Amino acid sequence: MSMPDLNLLVTLNALLAEGSVARAAHRLRLSPSAMSRALARLRTATGDPLLVRAGRGLVPTPRALELAARAGRLVDEAQAILRPAEMLDLKSLARTFTLRVSEGFVENFGPKLVSRVAAEAPGVRLRFVPKPDRDSAALRDGSVDLEAGVVAQALGPELRTQALFRDRFVGVVRKGHALCRGRITAARFAAGRHVAVLRPGLDRGPIDDALAEIGMERQVAAIVGGYSGALALARTSDLIASVPERHTGLLRAGLHSFPLPIPIPRITISMLWHPRQDADQAHRWLRTRVRDVLAS
């Protein structure tokens, strides 16, 4: 079955509202002959004459009267769909946004983000979920609204990204650790016992690669899956943790931090979302607030 010409709905609505080919043509800025041809097509499509001659004018058939209200509603709804969304009313917005974030995000940026959102849109809830891997399927299926972290190289081209800030790695030890005193060289750093933050299946990371470049190797005594675990071990032992500086600011409270004595590439923290959310005013507002909080 072929798809009907939906433009005929607009024509039908104008004809039934005006009850005149000439007035309907003027309303839609068409010539009377073009409107007459459109009426002929409508008669074929509906199987009904719709408007019939009565004296010098036209009167609607019972079928036309039945269709009049429905056609009007459909045209109004179509026009509402195709016009820009109304201005977002943040005070009445009631919505829950799910944010998939790296470890350390909630502790360091969560309070300020929640406070900013609550001040502008008290009916909005933020649900923070962990980011155990770089698989962004949740963005595609809609179960996650926004993601923040390091963008994977194999990221699908259909996702949108925006860089928020760059971060560097620092070394972290407990107060009183030997590395709290004196100049920290690559040799002193490598000689200590370390806790490494590695994804499942990996046994080395960029710090190991940087040490290998200068012919050194560190002793990894423990491997954890996140920065909070690494810092918890460093806080209560002589282990050395290496973590992103800004992303772990509050987590490092009470610990001694120092610049790494080896060159480690900086990482870029970005936010990711699916294109279906691009034009959504509420989602756009949320992206702006995340950007403001993390870039400040």
- For the stretch 182-236, pLDDT in tens is 999 999 999 999 999 988 778 889 999 999 999 999 999 999 988 889 999 999 9
Q: What mean pLDDT, rounded, does the chain reach?
A: 88
Same domain, 185 and 97: no
Asked whether residue 177 falls in the same domain as residue 234, the answer is yes
Q: Which of 15-19, 90-94, 97-101, 122-126 has the lowest mean pLDDT?
A: 15-19
**What is the tally of structural domains in the chain?**
3
Q: What is the model's pLDDT at position 136?
A: 75
The per-residue pLDDT for 4 is: 72
Among all chains, which residue has been given the structure tokens 């992206």? 287
16-40 CB burial, b ≥16 within 10 A, e <16: bebebbeebbebbebeeeebeebbe
- Domain contains 212: yes
What's the order of all strands across the beta sheet hosting 267-273?
Answer: 124-130, 95-101, 146-150, 267-273, 160-167
- For residues 177 and 37, membership in a common domain is answered with no
Q: Domain containing 122: what range?
A: 90-167+268-295
Contact 258, 278 (CB under 8 A): no
Mean pLDDT of 274-293: 90
Same domain flag for 177 and 240: yes
Determine the 3-state secondary structure of 187 from DSSP.
helix
Using pLDDT thresholds of 50, 70 and 90, give the confidence band for residue 239.
very high
With a cut of 80, say whether residue 178 has pLDDT above it. yes
C-alpha 193/C-alpha 215 separation (Å) is: 17
Q: In this structure, is residue 1 part of a structural domain?
A: no
pLDDT, residue 157, reads 60
Q: What are the phi and psi torsion angles at 38 (to 5°)? A: -65, -40
Which pLDDT band, with edges at 50, 70 and 90, does 247 fall under?
A: confident
Q: State mean pLDDT over 245-255.
A: 92
Average pLDDT over residues 139-143: 84
Q: Is the pLDDT of residue 238 over 90?
A: yes
CB 41 within 8 A of CB 10: no
Q: What is the CATH number of the domain that holds 65?
A: 1.10.10.10
Co-location of 201 and 123 in the same domain? no
- pLDDT tens-digit profile of 65-118? 888 878 888 887 777 677 666 678 899 999 999 999 987 888 889 999 999 999
pTM above 0.75, yes or no: no
pLDDT at residue 86, as a whole number = 64
CB 148 within 8 A of CB 290: yes
Residues 286 and 251 reside in one and the same domain: no
Do residues 150 and 278 both lie within one domain? yes
**In the predicted model, is pLDDT for residue 152 greater than 70?**
no
pLDDT at position 217: 95
According to the model, what pLDDT value does residue 7 have?
A: 81
